[in-house]
Amino acid sequence: MRFVFALALVLLTACKYDTPNRSNLFLEIFLYSAPWMAVATGTNCTGWTSVDAKTWQSFQFPGCTTGTIASVAFGADKFVAVGSTDGTTCATWTGTGVYSLEWTRNTCGPTALRMTAVAFGSGSAGQEFVAAGMPSSATTFASISSQDGITWSDATITDAGGAGAPVQSIVFWPTGQQFIESQQTNQNTQRRSIGAGTTWIAGNATGVTPPKLLTGPTSSNGTMRLYNWGNSPSVVQYDDAGYASGYTNLSPNVFSAAIPVVNDGVHGEGKRTVFVRDSCGVTYLTSASGADTSGAYTMSGCTTANIKAIGYIDPYFIAGSDDGSFYYSVSGLPSEWTRATSSGSSSVTQKIAGRPGVL
């Protein structure tokens, strides 16, 4: 594949000089599409990378001793990971490169409190990474924002319940061009536009604890649906308006009291939404309405692992576990998963993100 890219570079250079109207647009797009890559983060300062979803290599985040790399996002041609170096001290990392990544540790700017979630957003107002994490007071949560993933500014979230657990998740909602975060203690959501500093807009409280969010498919009214789920009670809810005024319980619901804890979820565009659980568990939705939802299944190719994270980097769903194993699937259906090649590890996967590209 690297030879193909090098050959394409030679051809494109010639085309640029010999074709004034630059009709070789397809070749140009092919060349400048970086190769496909996935990154997973975990406990014990551990990360993993893969260039094909089928083989994974582990690495250690620089400057990290005993911390957890809680989350990772891709945007602006780089990966940005957030977490702590020692369990408490905040740090961020940027990973850049084409065929392999070089990771650089960065500070968290105005806060020393560790981050637990990060998302990237791009819209008419520009582009931005936003991270959020631990409570900084009884009424605030630490949050930071950055255009480049290196230099961070204050984006503190003000909301009651800050004395409790950290922010559970943060996503970018393209329809409203807003970041939306969810909190465990008060089950609240807050919305923030790109470049809005510390201005967060109070959203609707969810009906679950701890609430976690994911962006789903395009709904019938043309907006991007948002899902949230929790384990008390074990239900999936959705909203098409950024949790500005309410939510709806999915019916029939995919979860029941008998189903184990749900750890993560992701939507594969044009395919389905998949949730992963302990004991090799996988559950899926095959439509935005939830009218043909599935029950609880066991992931094929998995025997003992607790599946802790899932991501979608076209064309693969990728799941990571608590024993260093990874699994991949084109469809996300329970019977169509394959175990990837990776070295065993005591580190627990936290989050998976990727760069779509040429495989």
Span 119-132, pLDDT tens digits: 999 999 999 999 99
Amino acid symbol at 108? C
Helix axes 25-32, 2-18, angle to 10 degrees: 140
Prediction pTM value: 0.90
Cis peptide before 135 (omega within 30 of 0): no
Predicted local confidence at residue 220, as pLDDT: 80
| pLDDT for residue 323 is more than 50 | yes
Query: Does residue 3 or residue 339 have the better pLDDT?
Result: 339
**Which tens digits make up the pLDDT trace of 42-82?**
999 999 999 999 999 999 999 999 999 999 999 999 999 99
pLDDT at residue 232 tops 50: yes
Mapped onto helix, strand or coil, the DSSP state of residue 152 is: coil
For residue 258, count CB atoms less than 10 angstroms from its CB and return exposed for 0-12, middle for 13-18, buried for 19 or more: exposed
**CA–CA separation, 12 vs 23, rounded Å?**
11
Half-sphere exposure of 238 (CA within 13 A, CB side): 23
Phi–psi pair at 45, nearest 5 degrees: 65, 20
pLDDT at 23: 39
**Residues 6+ positions from 46 with CB-CB distance below 8 Å:** 58, 59, 60, 61, 69, 345, 347
Q: Is 193 helix (H, G, I), strand (E, B) or coil?
A: strand
